[in-house]
Amino acid sequence: MSTATAPPSLERLEPDAAPPPPPQPRRVPRLVWVLVVLAGWVALWSVTKGTHTLALSGLDQTDLHARLSDRVSGFSSNAVAQSIADAINAIVDFLRGLIAIPTPPRPAPTIGWLGVVAIATWIGYAVANWRIALLVAATFLSYGLFGFWEDSMDLLIVTLVSVAFAVVIGFPLAVWIAVSSGAARWITLVLDLLQTMPTFVYLMFVLVVFGIGAPTAVVCTLAYALPPIVRISGFGIRDVSPAAIEATNSLGQTTMQRLLKVQIPMARRTIIVGLNQTILAALSMAIIASYVNGPGLGKPVLAALTENDFGAGLVPGLLIVATGIMLDRTTTAASERSERVARSGGENRRRRRMVLGVLLVPVAVAVWYSRYSIDAAVFPETTWARSVADWANSWMESFTSTVDTAAGKFSDAVSYGLLNPLQSVLAESPWWLSFLGLLLLGVVIGGRRAVVPSVVCLTGLYLLDLWHDSMVVLTMTLVATLLVMVLALVIGVWMGRSRVVDVVIRPTLDAGQTIPAFVYLIPVLALFGSTRFTAIVAAVVYAAPAAIKLVADGIRGVPDGVVEAGRSTGSTTWQEITKVQLPMARGSLVLATNQGLLYVLSMVVIGGLVGAGALGFDVIYGLAHTDYAGKGLAAGLSIVLLGVGLDRVMRSAADRAGARAPVPRAARRTWARGAVPF
């Protein structure tokens, strides 16, 4: 009789198998820790508020601010800077006399408007195609028809001179960072500083060194427009196919030969994209350059902002937008032309040269005629601009009267329900409590990598003696960012889930990112008046397009299979969005919040012009009064520290979120290029 034997145990069959890992304890969610920190902060604030806030009343300065003013004034006498200013003035004055302003004894420029339009149209056709040529012609004609020919030519001159300097300086740097990782690290640090620093901060330095006028406008525009061409061109050159580089190495080419014959030609399209972004960045400085008496279309926009004249600022503002669209489309078409020709089977180059040569004949005739006919030299006066301005003012008055009550209620709700309580906690807490609370929040949100930048930036804010003003600005920034993210979630999810909606809305967002920041202030100022809420709304309008597009890209990047699996289980639309798409797009949401924060912060100084006060007012007042230049400089550096601290915390948070959720390629490119809007 046989007896049943027990089956061999798993341990005897697999003696080397590792025991199952012990269950991991569940971590406390970050949101819980955030609430704990906030609860402790509020509890301490309730018994310490109003003490040791480090607030400065009115125009008070500290000893540090006075010492900084003395240091800044010491830069004003510099022979090298004067030589550079004289050279820039000579270039700008020559070009202005050529196409913009009368050259005595002539009552007109050397080349009249008809000749300039003909030359620009021919260039548009030569670098792209006839559609671009028509766009260029229409844009140039609109300058004259609306009565802003001289200002428009000045804008193009300052923009193109700045871009020329940016290319001369930036392209060698791009090549350098493409071939040297050591150079890339150090140059990237400088580029990060330029992109993180608000334009008004280095505007103050440049103003002291170069004085008022075109040199300051060109140098500031150069500093702002330099990073894109260095970053994007360097990336394109470095990202050339390794197989192509290996092939050239096998042929024994030198580094210089490989650069000139392989890497740069293969990266041509990316390089032109970098040039495109540099041109648009330079153009976006048009109004800020006018603040230091730089020539261009920014002058009438700034004058309209000062006078609160919506219509008068609308026309030159739209001409700036038209200029940006023209330059963007032209450079983009130029970058795509060779690829398009190759797809169509090539072109007859000899025939094209003949066509371009023949077209030069009417161009030469137009230039000649514009020198001898006053009507072709000076654009006839029209009333188009005034008519449009009157219509715009009439429309704005009727619009504001219609929505005034609703706008007032919305302003009061945000101000009394969110802005005032948050400002009370941040700015009316003792400085040490705000320091500790912000540090703990930074660590909870960003993790250990956020500790050092948080400590450094908060310490810098304390040492610059503008702690209270910095907390006020941080309050407005957080409120504006919250409103931005509400818009980004609603519109971004809508776009991400519907191709039709995306096609309809995205061009509007692209146009919104092309409009200079100052232009947003004019309608918002007419609607809400001169208050801090005006600055918040203008910042929301300025920052929302970038955040919306990042959220839309994140929602669209969620795999279709995951979405279909959720639908197969009977999930509702709301469950699909909140349980599947938003959690899987967490990385993009953090990136959108980061970009929204930085775009909002970049409007701080501009908001100081319309009643925002705090650091923005300090910078503006320091620009206008040399005795307060030190306080203005300290305010600008405080904005930089706020931007750097928030950026580093959000980057660290994005890295943590990205480890658990995929980040769309478009969002990663935005982050990698250092897309900081200062």
Q: Answer whether residue 138 is part of any domain.
A: no
Q: Report which residue type is found at 173.
A: L
CA 603, 606, 612, 618 dihedral sign is positive
For position 668, what pLDDT does the model report?
Answer: 44
Report residue 62 as tokens.
């500290």
**Vertex 332 angle, CA 153 and 117, to 5°:** 30
Q: Answer whether residue 462 is part of any domain.
A: yes
Q: Answer whether residue 44 is part of any domain.
A: no
492/499 Cα distance (integer angstroms): 12
For position 113, what pLDDT does the model report?
Answer: 93
Q: Answer whether residue 642 is part of any domain.
A: yes
Q: Answer whether residue 484 is part of any domain.
A: yes
If pLDDT is split at 50, 70 and 90, which confidence band does 362 have?
very high
DSSP single-letter state for residue 180:
-
Peptide bond into 545 cis (omega under 30): no
Its domain, for residue 456, covers 393-678
Phi, psi (rounded to 5 degrees) for 273: -60, -40
Check pLDDT > 70 for residue 622: yes
Lowest mean pLDDT among 126-130, 338-342, 346-350: 338-342
Q: Answer whether residue 289 is part of any domain.
A: no
183-195 confidence digits (pLDDT tens)? 877 887 787 777 6
CA 449, 634, 609, 471 dihedral sign is positive
CATH number for the domain spanning 643: value is 1.10.3720.10
Mean residue pLDDT across the chain = 80
Residue 129, helix vs strand vs coil: coil
Percent of the chain residues topping a pLDDT of 90: 15
If pLDDT is split at 50, 70 and 90, which confidence band does 593 have?
confident
Contact 595, 546 (CB under 8 A): yes
For position 412, what pLDDT does the model report?
Answer: 83
Torsion of CA 510, 513, 514, 518, to 10 degrees: 150
Q: Answer whether residue 295 is part of any domain.
A: no
Across residues 620-633, what is the average pLDDT? 79
Higher pLDDT, 670 or 544: 544
Check pLDDT > 90 for residue 635: no
470-505 confidence digits (pLDDT tens)? 898 888 888 888 898 899 899 988 888 888 888 888
Check pLDDT > 60 for residue 571: yes
Going by C-alpha positions, the residue among 149, 71, 94, 165 that lies closest to residue 116 is: 149
Q: Quote the number of domains for the chain.
A: 1
